[in-house]
Amino acid sequence: MTITFSSHSHIKHTMEKRILYFDCFSGISGDMTIGALLDLGIDQSLFLAELSKIHLDEYDVEIKKGLKKGISGTDFTVHLHTHEHHHEEEQHNYEHNHEHDHHHEKHEHEHHHAEKSHDHSHTRNLSDIYTIIENSDLSEYVKVASKNIFFIVAEAEAKIHAKAIDEVHFHEVGAVDSIVDIIGAAICVEMLKIDEIQCSEINLGSGFVHCEHGIFPVPAPATLEILKGVPVYSKNAKKELTTPTGAAILKALCSEFGSSPEFIIEKIGYGLGKRDMETPNVLRVIVGKKKTLLR
């Protein structure tokens, strides 16, 4: 808190609020979120130390700088030990989402994420995910935030598939990816010491995606369900730009959606997506300060 003096010599008290703003002009996914937040200058070694508190040995992460249409940012990738090739996007990791073919920009082939394609039979439901989070050494904030995000995803999937929430299964490959992305995002927010999180209108993308169940529209049904009550639009790409994980992170953490708040910009970060498009496939995040006069 700071104390200032007016021209009339009355003491005025002001409070400084630290705001994080998500600018989703090219959508949002879990990996883009972590990349953008790390790009703000978070100590990567401290972040990885916190991430290791999950106590899962099924993955490695890669953090590197890169470019998208000339914009420099941070690329965050989860490498799963259960694959011969790494899993570069967390698109549709749940239920029907998990089972479709989607084209990775860096792969020439299509591949299935279903367990039958990789001989995986183990799945995790929401209770299993909660147990992993509770058995970790993560902070209380990260545990609560992560569970809230996972609940939002599971609730949406349950409604879409007309199932009880505990019947929604997170397949092994998708679950690990989502655990890392969701918990990692919560860790980053806590490390940034943010007071308030806001978000722009969200670009969902458009078109269709090929699934084993058929052709699904973009945005995916779960993404659309999660973002009820949130301002969205579709522009510039016949691709899926916003994933269920990205949508759930925003829905759980953001207090406001819309145009940028009035604040003094301090830092800007860019998280690189995996899409190659005419426009930059990046997530922009901005940290700024806003002074509020206390009455």
Q: Which two tokens stand for residue 146?
A: 């992560």
Q: Which pLDDT score, from 0 to 100, does residue 213 have?
A: 60
Angle at CA of residue 120, ends 118 and 126, nearest 5°: 130
Q: Where are the alpha helices (DSSP H) in the chain?
A: 30-39, 44-51, 95-98, 115-118, 126-134, 140-161, 172-192, 221-226, 244-253
Say which residue the tokens 């972040």 belong to: 47
- Burial classification of residue 62, based on how many CB atoms lie within 10 Å of its CB (0-12 exposed, 13-18 middle, 19 or more buried): exposed
Helix, strand, or coil here: 186? helix
Specify whether the CB–CB gap between 176 and 78 falls below 8 A: yes
- Burial classification of residue 214, based on how many CB atoms lie within 10 Å of its CB (0-12 exposed, 13-18 middle, 19 or more buried): exposed
* 14 vs 131: CA distance, rounded Å: 42
Q: Which pLDDT score, from 0 to 100, does residue 75 have?
A: 98
**Angstrom distances, CA of residue 183 to CA of 30, 50, 51, 245:** 10, 10, 8, 11
Give the pairing of strands 196-199 and 11-23.
parallel
* 258 vs 269: CA distance, rounded Å: 19
Specify whether the CB–CB gap between 132 and 56 falls below 8 A: yes
Q: Which pLDDT score, from 0 to 100, does residue 120 have?
A: 40
* 245 vs 248: CA distance, rounded Å: 5
Q: Which pLDDT score, from 0 to 100, does residue 11 have?
A: 59
In this structure, how many other beta carbons lie within 10 angstroms of the beta carbon of residue 58?
16
Helix-strand-coil percent breakdown of the chain, rounded to 5? Answer: 35, 30, 35
* 262 vs 145: CA distance, rounded Å: 26
Specify whether the CB–CB gap between 30 and 245 falls below 8 A: yes
pTM of the model as a whole: 0.83
Q: Which pLDDT score, from 0 to 100, does residue 122 have?
A: 63
Q: Residue ranges per domain, the chain?
A: 14-103+113-294
- For 82, how many CA atoms within 13 A lie in the half-sphere containing its CB? 21
Q: Which pLDDT score, from 0 to 100, does residue 170 have?
A: 77
End-to-end CA distance of the chain: 13
Q: Which pLDDT score, from 0 to 100, does residue 15 have?
A: 84
Parts of the chain with a pLDDT under 50: 2-9, 83-121, 212
Digit-coded pLDDT (tens) for 112-160: 333 333 334 467 899 999 999 999 999 999 999 999 999 999 999 999 8
Nearest to 26 by CA among 286, 275, 197: 275
Digit-coded pLDDT (tens) for 188-200: 999 999 999 999 9
* 211 vs 96: CA distance, rounded Å: 8
Q: Which pLDDT score, from 0 to 100, does residue 90 have?
A: 43
